[in-house]
Amino acid sequence: MKNQAQPVARTLAEVVEKLEAKKQKHLMNPETGSVDTEKNWRSEMPGWDEEITTQQEQYNSLVEVKKDRNGDWVEADKLKKDPSYTAR
């Protein structure tokens, strides 16, 4: 019985993790393709170089993204505008 409970618990933990991730806003740097949570981007801001643009301008250049049904990151606006995209 214990052997069956472990995979179920792991699966449940994975489901909870995915649901929590869905709640978080994800942003992509369009120049690099890097995707991270809004919280993580904000925590990195103090270390960003301001030689060309301010940290806030750099943050404002990030694009909100969501995963489509294929697991690919897609701009959130495209998901709203194009019915062929389906959020995961």
* Domain carrying residue 35: 25-88
Instruction: Give the model's pLDDT for residue 71.
Output: 86
Is 39 within 8 Å of 6 (Cβ atoms)? no
Instruction: Give the model's pLDDT for residue 77.
Output: 86
- Mean of the pLDDT values across residues 71-82? 83
In this predicted structure, the answer to whether residue 51 has a pLDDT above a threshold of 60 is yes
**Is 73 within the bounds of a domain?**
yes
Cβ neighbours for 26, distance < 8 A, ≥ 6 positions apart = 35, 36, 37, 38, 64, 65, 66, 73
**Is 55 within the bounds of a domain?**
yes
Task: Give the chain's domain count.
Answer: 1
Q: What is the pLDDT of residues 77-88, one digit of tens each?
A: 887 776 565 555
Is 28 within 8 Å of 65 (Cβ atoms)? yes
Q: What is the pLDDT of residues 12-45, one digit of tens each?
A: 888 877 777 677 899 999 999 999 999 999 999 9
